[in-house]
Amino acid sequence: MTQKKAKLLIDQKEIELNVYSGTEGDEAIDISRLYEEHRLTTYDPSLANTAACRSSITYIDGEKGILRYRGIPIEQFNRPRPNFIEVAWMLIFGRLPQQSELLDFRNMLSEHELLHEGLRNQFQVLPAKAPPMAILSAMLSMMACYYEEFLTLTDEKSFMEVAARLISKVRTIAAFTHRRAQGLPFIYPDPNLRYCANFLHMMFSLPYRQFMVEPEVEDALNLVLILHADHEQNCSTSAVRIVGSAKANLFVSCSAGVNALWGPLHGGANVKVMEMLESIHRGGLKPEECIEKAKSKDNPFRLFGFGHRVYKNYDPRAKILKAACDRLFAKMQCNDPLLDIARKLEERALNDPYFVDRKLYPNVDFYSGILLRAIGIPTDMFTVMFAIGRLPGWIAQWKEQHDNPTTRIMRPRQIYEGNDICDYTEIEDR
């Protein structure tokens, strides 16, 4: 097949560039040698239109609102099976697991659900009400202190081992963070429970009373984690890849992902959405005021949970989460006034030219908080839940980069606009 070319004409000089295409026909111009051969750099602030890697994990078509994990449409995960651990295995190892492989992985998760006592003791010195994302980031980095045998990963077996440790322990870290903030004793994991049920057990059981996990609540949490599991080269995943490209270990790379995810423009938006909805509910803000504030250029306020760098259509995850809220409330025979407020806000925005013209639709964060609240998760843990869901994606993306022999350290260039060459001036002479 002949190599497709693009031509760049600059100062009467014609430069030929290779054009590569992906599985779905998306095309990219290869500018990687433009500097070496022509001393030319491309300019793409925030990397909004730069393919930083080739990947086979997740496919998004932002115009059509399509999301697929390893080719499987996200809508096919909107049912009790497969569960989050099966999806995690598939994202990391590239195919659906055999029954025996899934069972082995589940057993490894059970084997590694406890924290090293040194890690557990860290909770005694951290402020009880420290931000949960700060604790999670610190704990993931500190895993490098306690599991030194995994600072270098050499084969699939070592990846299996470290993935099991991270995915299992992140749940324990999150639950212990919540318990410490509540002044409650830690509840240890129960290896007889499935992943989500075990987490809810550690979050809400008491020493004298086991928390009974309703199947519909377990299914809802399972779905939330699956929907957050990966999303190609988003901000936090790019942070994981950048740190990993320097051959830094997986623990600190995932910690970098947590730090990026914390931002209110990214995973932190799910907390901001709830604050926004609660403010409207308490009467502090009217829906129409909210919309107008979000449209005003004089106001930093944004309609959190709306808009997306890639989706210029309805985020398919938001559609699934919205329906899951209805399902869970129907089964629990309850309602949440915030869901009605969110619906009204969505309807107003989707009929307002400001949002329509800019193709701003609900994203994954708009309804996720309402479902997490119905499950019983406190608002300050919402972004941690996003991180628990996204962890398999970060591991999968890090592994894909690690296993690629052509990987080089990521080091973008710049356009320098600073001073011309000048001399140092002694302080007495300034």
The total number of residues written for the chain in this structure: 430
Whose structure tokens read 């989706």? 311
Q: At what angle do helices 382-402 and 364-375 cross, to 10 degrees?
A: 120
- Of 174 and 387, which has the nearer Cβ to ligand SDX? 387
- Contact (Cβ atoms closer than 8 angstroms) between residue 257 and residue 387: yes
- Of 33 and 309, which has the nearer Cβ to ligand SDX? 309
* Interface stretch with ligand SDX, choices 102-110, 180-188, 299-307, 376-384 (CB under 6 A): 299-307
Question: Using the rule CB under 6 A, which residue among 178, 308, 322, 399 binds ligand SDX?
Answer: 308
Q: How many residues lie near ligand SDX (CB under 6 A)?
A: 22
Q: Report, in Å, the least distance between residue 55 CB and ligand SDX.
A: 13
Q: Report, in Å, the least distance between residue 82 CB and ligand SDX.
A: 19
User: Interface with ligand SDX includes 302 (CB under 6 A)?
Assistant: yes
Q: Report, in Å, the least distance between residue 359 CB and ligand SDX.
A: 9
Tokens representing 335 are 């309602």
Residue tagged active-site, from 230, 315, 336, 365: 365
| SS3 assignment, position 213 | coil
- Of 146 and 264, which has the nearer Cβ to ligand SDX? 264
Angle among Cα 167, 171, 173 to the nearest 5 degrees reads: 110
Residue 69 bridge partners (DSSP)? 58, 72
* Non-local CB neighbours of 410 within 8 Å, separated by 6+ positions: 52, 241, 242, 245, 246
Query: How is residue 63 annotated by DSSP?
Result: T
Tokens representing 112 are 């590694």
> What mask of x and - would describe binding to ligand SDX in positions 342 to 381, judged by CB under 6 A?
----------------x-x--xxx----------------
Question: Using the rule CB under 6 A, which residue among 173, 240, 294, 372 binds ligand SDX?
Answer: 294
Residue 98 CA to its chain's centroid (Å)? 26
| SS3 assignment, position 55 | coil
* Consecutive H or E run containing 17: strand 13-21
Angle among Cα 223, 228, 229 to the nearest 5 degrees reads: 95
Amino acid at 78: N
Concerning whether 178 is annotated as a catalytic residue, the answer is: no
Cα 207 to Cα 303: distance, rounded to the nearest angstrom? 42
* Interface stretch with ligand SDX, choices 50-58, 139-147, 239-247, 300-308 (CB under 6 A): 300-308
Strand order from edge to edge, sheet including 72-73: 58-61, 66-69, 72-73
Cα 413 to Cα 417: distance, rounded to the nearest angstrom? 13
Question: Using the rule CB under 6 A, which residue among 262, 304, 367, 394 binds ligand SDX?
Answer: 304
Q: Report, in Å, the least distance between residue 286 CB and ligand SDX.
A: 17
Residue 73 bridge partners (DSSP)? 68
* Interface stretch with ligand SDX, choices 72-80, 117-125, 158-166, 305-313 (CB under 6 A): 305-313
Residue tagged active-site, from 112, 308, 315, 336: 308
Omega into 300 within 30° of 0, i.e. cis? no
Q: Report, in Å, the least distance between residue 52 CB and ligand SDX.
A: 13
Q: Report, in Å, the least distance between residue 342 CB and ligand SDX.
A: 13
Residues 192-231, interacting with ligand SDX (CB under 6 A): 231
Concerning whether 266 is annotated as a catalytic residue, the answer is: no
Question: Using the rule CB under 6 A, which residue among 305, 369, 389, 392 binds ligand SDX?
Answer: 305
Residues 223-282, interacting with ligand SDX (CB under 6 A): 231, 234-235, 265-267, 269
Residues catalogued as catalytic: 308, 365
Q: Which residues bind ligand SDX (CB under 6 A)?
A: 231, 234-235, 265-267, 269, 294, 302-310, 358, 360, 363-365
